Each structure stands twice: as C-alpha cells, then as structure tokens.
Chain A
Amino acid sequence: MGNRYVEMGLSAPVNVTWEMTFACNLNCVHCLSDSGKKRAGELTTRECVRVIDDLSSSRVFQLNIGGGEPFTRPDFLDLMEYAHQKEIVTCISTNATLIDEEAARRLDHRLVYLQVSLDGATAESNDAIRGKGSYNKALKALELLRKRNMAVSINTVLTRFNFVELDQLTRLAASLGAKSRVSRLRPSGRGKDSWSRLNVSKEEMVEFSDWLNRNLDVSTGDSFFSVTTEERRALGLNMCGACKLTCCVSPLGEVFPCAFLQEPEFRAGKVPDDSLGALWDQSSVFQSFRLLEIKSCGSCPRFDLCHGGCPAVAYHTQRRLGTPDPGCLASCVSVKSDWTNADV
C-alpha cells in the first residue's frame, strides 16, 4: 500500500477532476454541482488549452472529466483530442444522451474511458432520478460504444431506490460490455436537497458493504472507503485522496480539493492564471487539508481501512471538517442490535 509515499507529498496530482461546464441537458435530482445552464465566466477554449498545457507540464497522468454534461461544450471533442496528444488519459463522466455515431468515432481512442451514468436498471427507476427518456438515450449510446469495443463503465450513484437493483445493473452492464461502478451520493449541489430522501439507511449501507465484498469486480473509485472491508483493501487506497492524489478544477477554473468541496473556503486559486503545479505545492488550503486528521477516529479498529472516511460528507452534514464520516461502517454496525459490541 502506498499511503506512506502519498503522505510524503507527490509533485503533482495523479489525476485531476475537471468539471468543464455547468451546462447540462438533464436535471438530475442529486446533481453534485447543481448543473443546468452554462454560467458566466466558464473557461473559454483557449483557456482550456492553457489548462491542458499546464497539467501536461506538471505531468498529471489522468483527467476525470465531468460537469454538467461535457458534451454540451461545442469544443469538447477538440479539447479531448488535444489532451490525448499530450498523452493525458481522459476518464469522461457523461449522461451519454448526446453521444452519436460521430462522437463515438472521435472518442474511440486508447486513452479514453467513459463512465456512463445510469441510476436505475429500468427506465422507470432511472428516469425518476435523471429525467424522462434519459435511460433509453443512454442505452442507445452504450450500444454504439459497445460496437466499437470502447472502455466503458456504467456508474450508478447509490440511493435507497436503486439499492435493490444493483445485481440487475451489474448484469445490464455486462450485457453491454461495460464494467460496473457505484459511487456515493453526497450532499453537495442538488444532493443537499435530495439527501434525506435518497441516501441509504445505515442498515442498507451494511448490506451494501456485504454486496461489494461479493462483487470485487465492481469499482467504487474512492467513494466508499468508509465502508471498505478487508476483502477490498487491495483494490485501492484507504483514505481520502483530496490534495494528496487529486484535486478538482471547476468550470470557472477555480481549484478545489475535490468535486464535493467546491465551497469558497476551500478555493485554492484559479487556473490558467495560476499554475496548477504552484497551487498544488503552495496553496494554504491544500497544505492545511493535507494535515487534516479525524482525531476521534484514531482509536477505531477500522481506522487503517478508512482514515475517517470522506471529509466532504462530514463537512456537508456537520458543517466542519475533522469530524467522522457519518456513513462509517463502524457506526453503521453499531445500530444493528445483533452486531452490537461485535469485534468489527
């Protein structure tokens, strides 16, 4: 495990999440960035090219592209092609509803991964979250991508409604030649308003953790280290990677620790006017975030598996950093009477 090397401080992020626009053709109830319309001040094409140049010179390996819906930008495919010329891997999160034959052809590149969002295994359950017609359009695009044998995963934000459809979603992904990925609902953007209605209960979180153990080929990014068990330890880092492995660039070029902490108090600077490499090294926001310790978790037997969980969820639910992730598995387990006092 590379935690101690990461703690020594990397010279640049391994990957950068870049939300390229606030514009989106859908209106998902849990959107982390409250996307909809393009906003004033979004980076121009020329500025985006400068950002890519900056990331390339810092030797950032991977861009995790999101939004909004990145395909609403008329220059989007040109910018991806420019990133690929610089040998930067692009992992593109999309609702896929705007991917046609031509877009699929231009994206068919060894450095492209696509994460297509589906929040239900049926049109009924997906469209209740993502809007009418979005399921069928996404499936049409997934079929185009499958024909090209492109690297695709279906990403599902876990909710109490799709929780029961996870097996069905995994089978659907496999039938489309895609991998499965589950990410965590976070109370940022419109997720703040839908949090109490959509977020899984503690009992469901425990069940979900068991499900992940049985489905080791399902990826989670760093979403669920709060419920990571020993079986999944080898699959990834066991701590928040914000400011250590990754950071986030907003559609306006503002740089934050992660996509879920785009609050003024966490703003480190603005690219391309500031260099990302300089912000990574010198920003006081990043430096203090790296020192963040969830002291109350220090004595927990699960500490080595999660290091306190996701600071963003803790911040949005308790309005301060340095507190434990409320979705922590140890705290979930304590609510199950038959597991009370269990040696977790």
Chain B
Amino acid sequence: MHNYAGSRSFRLAEGIQLRREKFGLLFYNYRGPRIYFVPSGNLIGDNFFDGRKTIEQLVADIRREHDLPGKELRLRLESLVRLLEYKGLINGQPLC
C-alpha cells in the first residue's frame, strides 16, 4: 500500500505564499480566492513546505516538543495536507 505520510514531501504551488501567524498558517493565493487559514497553532512551521520533509518526519518533530498521540497526529496532518493539495495550495512529490 502506498505510504502517503512517509514517502512524499510538499512544496508551495506556483503563486502561493505562506506566513506564520498566531493561529497557525496563512496561505495567500494570487489567483484567488486570496487567503486561506490553517489553525495549526505552532505545530507546523512554514519550512515544512520547502519539499524536504515527509508527514512522518513532521510528526516525529512535533512529538519531540509536544506530548501528542502519534497516530492521531499523523491522520490529522495527512487529512490537512490532502486538503491543501486539493485546493491547489501545495504540491506533493516523491521524496527521493
């Protein structure tokens, strides 16, 4: 079975910019609709979308700082990342 969380990294799609905010992440799409809010708190850094880490690596990073259940965290992050891909804000790619 394809391991989505362990085999793909993610980059911002063309024309998308990203900023860290108190509530989490603020995406901006110059083609519109302009802004998209992700209430992730301080769990996801904007550098997650520079194409170098998988969801599993992000889960490990988060669990080093926070006492959170790994399975649930991975499922939630997978769901978020799939939604961001669906909305055209990020692109997934195989991590070589």
Interface residues of chain A, those whose CB is within 8 Å of chain B, are 2, 5, 8-12, 14, 59, 61-62, 87, 89, 110-111, 235-236, 245
Give the residue among B19, B30, B34 with the most A Cβ atoms within 10 A: B30
- Determine whether the beta carbon of B17 is less than 8 Å from that of A11: no
**Distance to closest chain A CB from B87 (angstroms):** 14
Give the residue among B20, B26, B33 with the most A Cβ atoms within 10 A: B26
Complex contacts, B37 vs chain A, CB 8 Å = 2, 5
Closest Cβ neighbor of A111 among chain B residues? B30
Which residues of chain B (1-36) have a CB below 8 Å from chain A? Answer: 15, 17, 19-24, 26, 28, 30, 33-36
Known: A2-B35, A5-B39, A111-B30. A11 touches B23 (CB 8 A): no
Interface residues of chain B, those whose CB is within 8 Å of chain A, are 15, 17, 19-24, 26, 28, 30, 33-37, 39
Partner of A89, one of B24, B30, B36, B39: B30
- Determine whether the beta carbon of B30 is less than 8 Å from that of A8: no
- Determine whether the beta carbon of A87 is less than 8 Å from that of B23: no
Closest Cβ neighbor of B17 among chain A residues? A61
Complex contacts, A235 vs chain B, CB 8 Å = 33
**Distance to closest chain B CB from A97 (angstroms):** 26
Would you list 10 pairs from A and B whose C-beta atoms are within 8 A, ordered by A residue? Answer: A2-B35, A8-B23, A10-B21, A11-B20, A11-B21, A11-B22, A61-B17, A61-B19, A87-B17, A89-B30
Complex contacts, A89 vs chain B, CB 8 Å = 30
Complex contacts, B39 vs chain A, CB 8 Å = 5
- Determine whether the beta carbon of A8 is less than 8 Å from that of B17: no
Closest Cβ neighbor of B22 among chain A residues? A8
CA distance A62 to B16 in the complex (A): 12
CA distance A14 to B21 in the complex (A): 12
- Determine whether the beta carbon of B19 is less than 8 Å from that of A12: yes
